Amino acid sequence: MSLQTDFLVLGSGISGLYFALKASELGDVIIATKDRPEESATWYAQGGIAVALGEFDNPQKHMEDTLRAGAGLCDPEAVRILVTEGIDAVKELADLGVPFTRDEKGRLHLGREGGHGESRVVHAHDSTGSAIEKVLLEQVRQKPNITIWEKHMGVDLITEHHLKPRQVSRTCFGSYVLNEETGEIVPVLARFTVLATGGAGRLYPVTTNPPVSTGDGVAMAYRAGCRVRNLEFFQFHPTALYAKSDPAFLITEALRGFGARLLLPNGESFMHLYSELMELAPRDIVARAIDSELKKHGYEYVLLDVSHKNAEEIRSHFPHIYTTLKEKYGLDITREPIPVVPAAHYMCGGILVNYDSRTDLNFLYAVGETASTGVHGGNRLASNSLLEGLVFSARAVRDIARRIKNREAESKNPYLTRISPWDKGGTANLAEWVLVQHDLKEIRNIMWDYVGIMRSNLRLQRAERRMDLIYREVVDFYNRTTVTREILELRNLSLVARLLIRSAMERKESRGLHYNTDYAEVRDESRNDTILEPLEFKNPYQGPQT
């Protein structure tokens, strides 16, 4: 048994929902999300959306700041698309009803964050992501031709490899989708498939990402034959609350834009030692500065102090942070500093796509954090991520509209009856959850210790040896075990970890977020992308699962 739809969207963050909303004008849409629809990285985004709407701002300035933050590795054309087309996208969100914060004259209030030369961050106080997610979900649920499947997870993309007889994978026909509650896996055939599965922050033990961020889209695409790009650039947010919470509670960069200062626990400032921009330096610089000071002095955290600012203004501008820290952690930020540490936050690389979000597989698109559009380069500029999700999702829909007009997708129709059903023969419910938990813990510890903010050739070599062994064990376990969400996430994380390590080993320099102590740091212009070909997956679906 299989299901058919015009559009299959995997993921329910800003990229997936915005795509679905626009694509619903072209056909029926199924959104498959492995948790509640709200459970996405978008929901946790505090800061806002960077867009050149200020009186003295313009897209050229926004572009220059983005290129500068990207450590010379951004694709200038992709950035130009981002900063120009993003203006209308943000205006559309406002028209849809997103309650962006406004000043006393009714104009959008524009915040300032690290790396930005102007105040240009449109926000809904300090809960921008959840405000956007709520409105987009409301809009999506009003569309009768959009169906949301909760507790459903993509297993593998369907390609020519699943035809009878099997062929080399060049086309995406949809995805095998797991119903987490019943355990049933159904082929969902789609004219167009969209990966909007977010990042892979769960590779690390300390992360601001929710539990759903397990690199699923990157792993699925790579196994199906897509190239991935620049995975070595993983952004660590400089300021997450130092506390036992999962995910780590993010302290928005806007707080530093508001005037908060970074201090050592003894009260000394230190950012002047690392950048003339001090607290407003790009994230890669601030995160490395904090990491360096922690290791130099043996501290467990540094302090972020905003208590010198007006208390009422703090409560007004940052109600979510103020209330959460006060009620949950007993910390009054109007009177005392916040203990903070860096945390894994954003995957700047991803599935290689063109300017219209097309991947290497025909009829497969990737949007949002799971895609590598070229706009982030070696380091993402603060508040450019939500903007990227909007801009390149809209471009994907426009590209698809052109292809529908040309009737391109009809070329797949003769093959749909030849798609193999899911075969779970040879598997059993081993219930060895101790193995899953142990492997997850080991993956995260390896990544944190060897592939974190500071790297070296020796650390990466050790990480590669250990991760290759774990990956082989995980694949063997997967091939013998009844499929569950936990096993799929472990399989995906172990693969993405290997790809990230391999990417880091191939870059023989320190640039942006990738800092290798064996190579000097460079910031000259470079289009030297790290692109990994899926050579080991020429026959990617071996084993009893298919």
Please report the DSSP string for 365-409 in residue order.
Answer: EE-GGGEE-SSSTTSPPTT-HHHHHHHHHHHHHHHHHHHHHTT-G
Average pLDDT over residues 453-482: 94
Q: How many CB atoms lie within 10 A of CB 308?
A: 9
Are 284 and 513 a contacting pair, CB within 8 Å?
Answer: yes
Cα–Cα dist 95/476, whole Å: 51
- At residue 474's C-alpha, the angle toward residues 469 and 477, to 5°, is 130
pLDDT-wise least confident of 326-340, 479-493, 497-511, 516-530: 516-530
Buried/exposed code over 316-332 (b: 16+ C-beta within 10 A; e: otherwise): ebbeebbebbeeeeebe
**Average pLDDT for the chain:** 92
Task: Place 141 in a pLDDT band, splitting at 50, 70 and 90.
Answer: very high
For residues 494, 495, 501 and 506, what is the CA-based torsion angle, rounded to 10 degrees? 170
Residue 545 has pLDDT above 50, yes or no: no
Annotated active-site residue in 191, 229, 256, 283: 283
Q: What is the mean pLDDT of residues 167-191?
A: 93
State the alpha helices, DSSP H only, in 34-186: 41-44, 59-69, 76-96, 128-141
Ranges in the chain annotated CATH 3.50.50.60: 3-233+348-418
pLDDT band at 422 (very low <50, low <70, confident <90, very high): confident
User: What CATH superfamily classification does 3-233+348-418 receive?
Assistant: FAD/NAD(P)-binding domain (3.50.50.60)
Give residue 244's pLDDT: 81
Please tell me the distance from the alpha carbon of residue 279 to that of residue 515, in angstroms, as a whole number.
Answer: 20
Q: Which residue has the higher pLDDT, 417 or 216?
A: 216
* Domain boundaries 433-537, CATH class: mainly alpha
Residue 243's pLDDT is: 87
Question: Do the beta carbons of residue 537 and residue 222 sit within 8 Å?
Answer: yes
Mean pLDDT calculated for residue range 294-319? 93
pLDDT digits 0-9 by tens, 107-128:
999 998 888 999 999 999 889 9
pLDDT for 2 equals 74
Whether 546 shows a pLDDT value over 50: the answer reads no
Q: Where does the pLDDT of residue 266 fall: very low under 50, low under 70, confident under 90, or very high at 90 and above?
A: very high
Q: Evaluate if residue 29 carries a pLDDT over 90.
A: yes
pTM of structure: 0.91
CATH 1.20.58.100 domain span(s) along the chain? 433-537
User: Distance between CA atoms of 250 and 241, rounded to whole angstroms?
Assistant: 6
Using alpha carbons, select from 539, 440, 417 the residue that is nearest to residue 487: 440
Instruction: Report the CATH architecture of 241-344.
Output: Alpha-Beta Complex (3.90)
Sequence ranges of the chain with CATH classification 3.90.700.10:
241-344
Q: Are 367 and 196 in contact (CB under 8 A)?
A: yes
- Pair 498, 448: CB distance under 8 Å: no
Distance, C-alpha 96 to centroid of its chain: 24
- Is residue 541's pLDDT more than 50? no
- Active site annotation includes 107: no
Per-residue confidence (pLDDT) for residue 433, from 0 to 100: 67
| pLDDT value for 116 | 92
Q: What is the pLDDT of residue 284?
A: 85
In the sheet where 302-305 sits, what is the strand order?
Answer: 234-241, 338-347, 302-305, 261-263
Integer Cα distance of 174 and 195 in angstroms: 11
Quote the pLDDT of residue 536.
57
